[in-house]
Amino acid sequence: MKENTKLLHGYQVLDEHTGAASIPIYQTSTFHNKQLYSDSQQYLYTRFSNPTIDALEDGFRTLENAKYAISFSSGMAAISNVIMLLKTKDHLIVPREVYGGTCQFVTKILYRYQIDVSFVDMADLNEVRNAIRSNTKMIYLETPSNPLLKVTDIRGLVAIAKEHNLITVADNTFMTTLAQEPLELGVDIVVESVTKFINGHSDVVAGLVATNNEFYYNELKLFQKNFGGILGVEDAWLIMRGMKTMGIRMAHAVSNAQAMAEYLQAHPKIKKVYYPGLKSHPNHAIHQSQAKNGGAVLSFELATKEELLDFTSKVRIPILAVSLGGVESILSHPATMSHACLSPEERAEQGVVDGLLRLSCGIENIEDLIDDFEQALGN
């Protein structure tokens, strides 16, 4: 089955009891026991399992081409549960530009469990090699990175991890499995913020973990049940509805992003464009070798803070907000939003300057997006 057919028919999409074309929301916390001392009771309590959540996780397995998938109450719940696979005295390697929430989790919480963390530039595999210690257990990657769309060579990183017997985890939120398949490239565990492209409508916060490894799956099911970061059933239903159109949404958003990157690259007021779908991107070839397209997210730089404020006050179509992956285009200002917790020096070191904006392309008509940017840039 090809991707759009799969997203409509490749998993449990009908209610088996009634034939309803939409899986019902089983709005219940508990289930009547038909008989005591019986092993045949499938559902006991919604924190353990629920038919709406089971249908969604069946969908996630299909989407991710994975043996196992687990839903979580947010991307961060998925990420923190996976990182908790580590034990006291273990060492973790993460990208310097890792998503802000993950950064806070590993710097503000993980040290309490005496788990060490090293930050490296994952576009440079030598830095990864040099960071490995005798107690390193996990390498966590995000490619392309946020907000500068730096690319990590997934195959190269997996090869290093295998040499040292390390667990690899990929945050695939930006690309989604429709465009980049880390499990296929040898990564052990994929995490994604479902809040973004998978749900796609900026109305749900959720996360997922996908893996082909039974041991990690069983551990993570135990964590999900006992840390309790489960997804609500209404949110699960909304995600199932959103997922059906994910293929066509992503195709349109990616085509908009490629066109916007090319338009912005040619614009005299734009200092720099960061987008792995552009030939001028320093790791365009590596990205092309591991992903089907450049994705729907790009960043660009205006020369000064004044130009930034002028542009953001005039632009009409994209909303100015934290987040990405909605049907509507979303402009974010990393210096005051996702990277506000860094000091100005740390931001400068990473290249997150005041004039930088990130654009998550939605599914508007490209002519309207370009016209809007044209008037806001005041050509």
Q: Which is nearer to ligand PLP, 118 or 202 (CB)?
A: 202
Comparing every residue's Cβ against ligand PLP, the nearest one is 75
Nearest distance in Å: CB 191, ligand PLP: 7
Q: Which is nearer to ligand PLP, 312 or 323 (CB)?
A: 323
Spatial distance between the Cα atoms of 6 and 258, rounded to a whole number of angstroms? 25
List the catalytic residue out of 6, 15, 43, 47.
Answer: 47
* Cis-peptide, bond into residue 344, ω within 30° of zero: no
Q: Which is nearer to ligand PLP, 86 or 103 (CB)?
A: 103
- Which residues here bind ligand PLP, judged by CB under 6 A? 74-76, 99, 101, 142, 146, 171, 173-174, 193, 195, 205, 207, 323
List the catalytic residue out of 61, 196, 249, 358.
Answer: 196
CB atoms within 10 A of CB 10: 16
List the catalytic residue out of 90, 171, 188, 354.
Answer: 171
Cβ–Cβ under 8 Å, residues 51 and 169: no
Residues sharing a CB contact under 8 Å with residue 108, sequence separation 6 or more, in sequence order: none
Phi and psi angles of residue 190, each rounded to the nearest 5 degrees, phi first? -110, 135
Phi and psi angles of residue 324, each rounded to the nearest 5 degrees, phi first? -160, 175
Nearest distance in Å: CB 334, ligand PLP: 11
Phi and psi angles of residue 189, each rounded to the nearest 5 degrees, phi first? -135, 135
Indicate if 99 belongs to the active site.
yes
Spatial distance between the Cα atoms of 198 and 209, rounded to a whole number of angstroms? 13
Nearest distance in Å: CB 124, ligand PLP: 20
Nearest distance in Å: CB 291, ligand PLP: 15
What is the phi-psi region of residue 176: left when phi exceeds 0, alpha when psi lies from -120 to 50, beta otherwise?
Answer: left
Nearest distance in Å: CB 97, ligand PLP: 10
Q: Which is nearer to ligand PLP, 26 or 99 (CB)?
A: 99
Q: Which is nearer to ligand PLP, 95 or 355 (CB)?
A: 95
Indicate if 171 belongs to the active site.
yes
Q: Which of 22, 65, 29, 33 is nearest to 47 (CA)?
A: 29
Indicate if 196 belongs to the active site.
yes
Q: Which of 151, 88, 128 is nearest to 286 (CA)?
A: 151
Task: Report CA 79 to chain centroid distance, whole Å.
Answer: 10
Catalytic residues: 47, 99, 171, 196
